[in-house]
Each structure stands twice: as structure tokens, then as C-alpha cells.
Chains A and B, each alone.
Chain A
């Protein structure tokens, strides 16, 4: 792939059983910014068996073009089939930049493409920009558990590629009138080239309500919650506000909450409208997973807790004793409209 000929910013729209994940759409917003900076087009890449929803979403979120590879062999993600299809597209259309969501499968695909194309890959980016004079994307990412941030360039290879954390960016505004060019490529991967086969899928148990990355309100608890029972109170508050419960690593390590509820570096990255951090000190590992939230409310008895450095609203108090949540719940219910919102 050469510097002179490569063009356009590609965004992989990852799907699960035909349903596009929001990270792909979030990246279309970032992709647009990069494409404008490079004065190039924004293209979505959709691979799957049922592709309609993803193609439709790519249009709605502003893609100029959508490359589509459709086939029964793409029903489930496999590195072999998806890698093959993606690499065929790359060799035909020669992109400048590729953005992939840092999901389980996205990260897997990213490593496959990077090695096959002998290019750099910057993983788990949280901010992207373009160096105007060179056309290099500046990939910004946290390391050392969020203690350090690095800006990475791939100045000698093309395409340039990065994976980005889900929830790190907001979805762009919907454009209902956008009509991208749809380019369907008949790329098939022979069965003998696909070395893994999904025999069965066991859906995750709906352990505690809605998914963290989809919640508008998250009420998280940490070490100072003291026991698993106190999380029920957080659940009540979350229910009233139409949200869900999260936690810090300390609460998982203590066995009070399942790992699927963990927010932070080794858990989920979230950006709800409101994030309640209850009895969470605010270690960088936790903050790395929630600092992009719209509004952060921190409740901690230690007024020097680092969580207060990122909070919009700070309450110094002892949690379980004060039973603050029940009060907040009462407060929420007493305001007209809030109870209705919570029910919806």
C-alpha cells in the first residue's frame, strides 16, 4: 500500500447476529473528523450474513460509502473469514486509515490485519486527530492503567490503523437524508480456509439488568459499600433513575459484584449521561473507564479522594450509614416527571 495512492478513512461496523454495535457508529463520528482533516471520504465496512441494519446505520451516521461483504460464512465472527474479506477489500480499495472498535472481536481482527499488512496498530485509543502537515493520524491512548497517555504515529506505513474503546466517543448526529454509495463486493471465503467453527452460543445471563455500555444512568459502588447487601440500595436508585448498577474492581475482588458489572481499565468503558460513584476512591484505573460520562456525582467520606477531582457534584459523607441512596430516591420521586422517566 503506498502513501501516494491510499485514500479514505474506513470504519469497521462490527455486528453481533446482524445487530450493529454502537462503537462502529461512534467511530463514524471520529472517522468524519479524520476524513475532513485528510480531505478524503468516510467509508463504512460491513461484513456479515444479515447486513441491512448495519448498512442503514452507516448511512444514518454519515458514511459517504459503504463496502458490504455478505455471505453465510460471515454469520459468526471468525478471524479467518472476516480477515480474508477485509484484506481483499483493502487490497482492492487501498484505504489510508482504518478504525476498528476495541471489542473482543475488533481487537482480534485488528491484530490479524496489522500483521498481514505489516502495518502499525494503536490499540484502545481514546482521542484521534490528524497532523495537518504530514497526514499522519495522531493516536492517543492510555497506558499503565491510565497513569500515562501516549500519542502514537505510524509515519512510515499505510494504511494506518487503530482500535478505539467503546464509549470513548459520542455517536455523531443522525443525518436521515444521507445517501451513501453502497458497494457490495462478492468476496467469499472457502470453508476449508475457516479453521474455527462456532458450535453453540450461550447468551449471557441477564445478571443485573441492562448492559453497562447502553445505560444512560449508572450507579456504581466501590470498596466503601462494605458488603454485597448495600448494592441493593444502589440498585433501587438505579431503578428509579432508569439506569443500572456498576462497580469498581475492589467490589469485584471482594466478591460483592460480578466482573461483568466492573467499570474501568479491566472492565467496561462507559459514558452514561449521569455516573454516580458511591464509595469509590477514584483510582486511575477506574477513572479511565468513566471519565467521559456526561455528569459525574461522587459520594465519598474521604474529602481528599481522587474521585472528587473528576466529579461535577461532590458529596462528602459516609455511605451505608447515611443511607443516602434511599433519600436520593425519595428526592427523585418527589419531583414531578422524574418518577415517570424512571418508569420508562
Chain B
């Protein structure tokens, strides 16, 4: 089974703080990590390889430093990593990014299964992976818990709001994976050593002679950022005073009733 996993390097959003004076994001010192959901996608890929054999390829689009997450993926067990990088790809929104990644997948493929996290924790759109499927004309299943192969058919369990769908489909299929899908494995020492020195080839604009230049980068992105701002928080709450918890509780209930909330 040939599997490709799309991985994004993201800032650890739990570490991001807002500068209280300038009201801007403090990015300095914020660690870059592999998008947590992509790690689950990688684990799904590795489990499929363990069960059915084959190869796991990881790709990431981003600047040179994104190699770090490809190396991490290789340390966990991925066979090959490719960095999709070019100035011409910069500023891409989900439409352009998914198009470029679909071109990379076509170039490196064919693949039976394409995997990605259900969303990235920085942009949080959840759109890029299913959009890749659409560019490729592949079947897509989002929020997949697990998948297996039965008589050449893919059987996947998909988490929706109301419960779990059991779905039958065929290859090639793109799946996005959630946190509940699995627990990502740790790197082994030997893989870790290998990942530090292995070759991570680049795929640049020049590697895609047939790419549609109207669909890439800032210019090829239909969404434009008009403005960004940090949310304002102003404390306007009423503090409930009291000498004991029961006094405070009574006071709160009284105030809620007074405000006709209860």
C-alpha cells in the first residue's frame, strides 16, 4: 500500500501570548511543532503499513525550517520525506495550498491512501486536505477514526456529530484523521539517528512544469486578508463577595435571579 501523509509545521498555539501593550501576537520563542492532528494521520499511515506493507511518504509545504517536522516523521517511521518549497508558493491560501500539494502528490504517486490531520491548529480551517482530494479527483473521507481493507474495499469509521458512520469506499482515498483516532508512537533511537542525516529532497516550482500559475501563491489565492486584530478583553464582571462559599453561592443565585438569568 502506498501512502502519503501531508504534514504541516505550526507554531504551538498553546504557547502564543498577546503583547498586552502592542496588542500583537508574540511569536518570538514560540516553538514550532508538527501539527498534532497530522501526527495522528502519520500514525494511521504507519499502522496501515504495519498491517498491509508498502511505503509511507511524508510531504510538507513551507519554508526550509519545515524540514524539522519531516525529519520527525521519518524518526517515527516514515520512509521518505519531501519538502515542497518555493517563493512562488508563498502566501497561498487553502485553495492554492491544496492545489500545490495535489501537484506534489501526483508527481510522487500514485498513492492508494492520502492522509492528513482534520485541521491545523494555527489556521484551523480543516479545508486543505479535503480540497486536495477534490483537485486530485479522489474520494475523500473526513474525521476518520480508522480504516481497513476488506476484499479490495476500504472500510472506514468516520466520526460525525451524532455518532460513527461505517463507510465503504475504494482506492484511492483521502482521509483526514482526528485526535481520537490513535495515539502516535514514539521515535526509536535508530530511526532518530537516521532521520537526522537522511536526504529530504525539495520540490520547487521548477519541478512542476505543468502547474497552473494562476492557482498558486498569493495571486492564485481567492481569499485575501483585509485586516487582522487581536481580540479585546475588558473586565466588566461583577465580583461576588462573601465570607463563606454558601454566602457567595446565595449572593450569586440572588444576582442571577435579579438579572432574570435564572
Q: What is the interface of chain A, defined by CB distance below 8 A to chain B? A: 16-17, 21, 76, 79-80, 103-105, 107-108, 110-112, 114-116, 118-124, 138-139, 142-157, 195-204, 241, 259, 265-266, 273-274, 283-285, 294-298, 306, 308-317, 322-324, 327-328, 330-332, 335, 338, 341
Are B228 and A151 interface neighbours, CB within 8 A?
A: yes
**In the complex with contacts A274-B261, A284-B231, A313-B237 CB distance below 8 A:** yes
Determine if A147 and B237 form an interchain contact, defined as CB atoms under 8 angstroms apart: no
With A266-B121, A313-B239 known, 5 other A-B pairs at CB within 8 A are A114-B131, A121-B95, A142-B231, A144-B11, A151-B225
Residues in A with CB closer than 8 Å to B14 are: 145, 283, 285
- Chain B residue numbers with a CB within 8 Å of A142 are 124, 231
CA distance A314 to B252 in the complex (A): 9
Minimum Cβ distance to chain B for residue A8 (Å): 20
Main secondary structure of the interface of A (DSSP, over half): mixed
With contact pairs A104-B159, A324-B245 given, residues A76 and B165 touching in the complex (Cβ less than 8 Å): yes
Min distance, Cβ A113 to any Cβ of chain B, angstroms: 9
- Nearest-neighbour CB distance to chain B for A278, whole angstroms, equals 12
Chain B residues near A124: list those with CB within 8 A.
124-126
Q: Which 3 A-B pairs have the closest CB atoms?
A: A120-B222, A145-B13, A115-B134
Q: Of A150, A154, A203, which contacts B222 at CB under 8 A?
A: A154
Pair A196/B167 contact, Cβ less than 8 Å? yes
Give the chain B neighbours of A138 by CB distance below 8 A: 226
Indicate whether A120 sits within 8 Å of B221 (C-beta atoms), given known contacts A107-B126, A314-B239, A331-B250.
yes
Query: Inter-chain contact count A-B, CB under 8 Å?
Result: 241
Which residue of A123, A153, A297, A314 is within 8 Å of B224 (Cβ)? A153
- Asked if A112 and B224 sit within 8 Å, CB to CB, the answer is no
Complex Cα gap A266–B182 (Å): 16
Given A118-B222, A274-B262, the answer on whether A308 and B237 have CB atoms closer than 8 Å is: yes
Contact B139 A123 (CB under 8 A): no
Q: Is the CB of B248 within 8 A of A324?
A: yes
B135 within 8 A of A: yes
Tell me which residues from 206 to 249 in chain B have a Cβ below 8 Å from any Cβ of chain A.
215, 221-231, 233-240, 245-246, 248-249
